[in-house]
């Protein structure tokens, strides 16, 4: 018998998270990255788009703290602005995936029977594709641009959410209070959205956090291979790709963007881990982000 599913009360949840070490670090990094993305124009002393072809691949100096990239742009400014693309891709694709996934999972779990079977086999089929390869192929098919990457991310991302929500719904559906709601003649859609959904959300929050990390990883991977955000836009993956070709002359050019990607992914993994512990102590087992790269 499964213990009661804990309610998500934001006040106590955040307090629980902040008491632990790793989730605290994760939240701290996420807040800093978000702040960096929001106030990017105020903290970077250079324009990330202004090129200076006489000063390419410079070493760190007083004017350019991290040096310049292959087109003479300030690397620090590029990295700061790059956080915008990564966070944007991560958050938006998470939101879209979560909404689709929740709907599919809710319908599958609640209706059961043939509907459940069909929806879940489709989910299984999508899950056969490794994330990165599917997004790469699809982004290549529908063309470059960050929004196309987000569409590709969401087209596969919903599957995880659907599976989780379905599992939760199957558990919650059998609870006495659902029976009670049905007995007093509550309409089905109201039962679904007002009683089943809120009580199934806890694991979705965990999955969402880890999903953002994976989405950032995948986005930067596709950008690294030359797809994703269009050229003048600063993105960590794109910087890393350019840095890779100048590895011997300017190692910092590759090190910094990669470090930022790792930092962001790690922060969301920490948060996800902490959320899992805080929301469902039963699942306290050291498995984080147990999916592919």
Partner 1 sequence: MHKYIAKRLLYSLIILLLVILIVFIVVRLIPGDPIRATMQQNIDLTDQKIVEEVRSQYGLNKPIHIQFCDWLWDLLRGNWGRSLQTGDTVLSMFWQRFPITLELFAGATFWAWIIGFPLGVLSALKKNSFIDVSLTSIALIGVSIPSFWEGILFIYLFSVYFRILPPSGFSHFFEDPWLHFESLIMPTFVMGTHTASLLGRYVRSSLLEVLNQDYIRTAVAKGLPRRVVIQKHAGRPTMVPVATVISLSWGHFLAGAFLVEYIFAIPGLGRMGVEAIFARDFPVIQATLMMVAVNVLLVNLAVDIFYGFLDPRIRLY
> DSSP for the chain?
-PPPPPP--HHHHHHHHHHSHHHHHHHHHHHHHHHHHHTHHHH-SS-TT---TTSTTPPP-SSSTT-B-TTS-BHHHHHHHHHHHHHHHHHHHHHHHHHHHHHHHHHHHHH-HHHHHHHHHHHHHHHTS-HHHHHHHHHHHH-SSHHHHHHHHHHHHHHHHHHHHHHHHHHHTTSHHHHHHHHTT--HHHIIIIIIHHHH-HHHHHHHHHHHHHHHHHHHHHHHTT-SS-TTS--HHHHHHHHHHTTTT-HHHHHHHHHHHHHHHHHHHHHHHHHHHHH-GGG-SS--S-S--
CB closer to partner 1 out of 203 and 237: 237
CB closer to partner 1 out of 65 and 132: 132
Residues 260, 272: Cα–Cα separation, whole Å: 18
Q: Does 134 bind partner 1 (CB under 8 A)?
A: yes
Give the shortest CB-225-to-partner 1 separation in angstroms: 6
Give the shortest CB-189-to-partner 1 separation in angstroms: 28
Choose which of 254, 271, 275, 278 interacts with partner 1 (CB under 8 A): 254
Neighbours of 124 (CB within 10 A): 11
Q: Does 265 bind partner 1 (CB under 8 A)?
A: yes
Choose which of 54, 189, 231, 287 interacts with partner 1 (CB under 8 A): 287
Q: Which of residues 191-210 bind partner 1 (CB under 8 A)?
A: none
Q: Does 81 bind partner 1 (CB under 8 A)?
A: no
Q: Does 270 bind partner 1 (CB under 8 A)?
A: yes
CB closer to partner 1 out of 15 and 118: 118
Residues 189, 80: Cα–Cα separation, whole Å: 45
Site string for partner 1, 34-73 (x = CB under 8 A): ----------------------------------------
Stretch that binds partner 1, among 31-39, 61-69, 85-93, 129-137 (CB under 8 A): 129-137
Stretch that binds partner 1, among 6-14, 61-69, 183-191, 219-227 (CB under 8 A): 219-227
Choose which of 171, 175, 205, 225 interacts with partner 1 (CB under 8 A): 225
CB closer to partner 1 out of 197 and 261: 261
CB closer to partner 1 out of 158 and 270: 270
Radius of gyration of the chain (CA): 22
Residues 63, 49: Cα–Cα separation, whole Å: 16
Q: Which residues is 68 bridged to in the sheet?
A: 74
Stretch that binds partner 1, among 72-80, 175-183, 197-205, 252-260 (CB under 8 A): 252-260
Choose which of 49, 70, 132, 191 interacts with partner 1 (CB under 8 A): 132
Positions in the binding site for partner 1 (CB under 8 A): 22, 121-122, 124-134, 136-138, 140-143, 213, 217, 220-221, 224-226, 240, 243-244, 247-248, 251, 254-255, 258-259, 261-262, 265-266, 269-270, 285-293
């Amino acid at each position: 018998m499964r213990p009661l599913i804990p309610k998500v009360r934001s006040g106590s949840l955040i307090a629980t998270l902040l008491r632990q070490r790793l989730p605290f670090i994760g939240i701290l990094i996420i807040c800093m990255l978000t702040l960096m993305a929001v106030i990017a124009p105020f903290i970077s002393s250079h324009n990330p788009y202004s090129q200076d072809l006489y000063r390419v691949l410079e070493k760190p100096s007083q004017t350019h703290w991290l040096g310049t990239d292959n087109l003479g742009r300030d690397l620090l400014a590029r990295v700061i602005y790059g956080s915008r693309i990564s966070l944007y891709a991560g958050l938006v694709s998470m939101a879209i995936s979560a909404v689709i996934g929740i709907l599919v999972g809710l319908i599958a779990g609640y209706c059961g029977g043939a509907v459940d079977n069909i929806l879940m086999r489709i989910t299984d089929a999508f899950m056969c594709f490794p994330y990165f390869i599917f997004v790469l192929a699809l982004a290549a098919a529908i063309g470059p641009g960050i929004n196309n990457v987000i569409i590709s991310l969401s087209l596969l991302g919903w599957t995880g959410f659907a599976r989780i929500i379905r599992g939760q719904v199957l558990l919650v559906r059998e609870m006495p209070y659902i029976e009670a709601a049905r007995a007093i003649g509550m309409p089905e859609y109201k039962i679904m959205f007002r009683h089943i959904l809120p009580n199934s959300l806890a694991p979705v929050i965990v999955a969402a956090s880890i999903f953002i990390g994976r989405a950032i990883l995948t986005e930067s991977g596709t950008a690294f291979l030359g797809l994703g955000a269009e050229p003048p836009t600063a993105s960590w993956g794109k910087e890393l790709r350019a840095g890779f070709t100048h590895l011997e002359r300017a190692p910092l050019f590759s090190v910094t963007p990669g470090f930022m990607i790792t930092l962001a992914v790690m922060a969301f993994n920490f948060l996800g881990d902490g959320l899992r512990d805080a929301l469902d102590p039963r699942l306290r087992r050291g498995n984080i982000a147990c999916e592919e790269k």
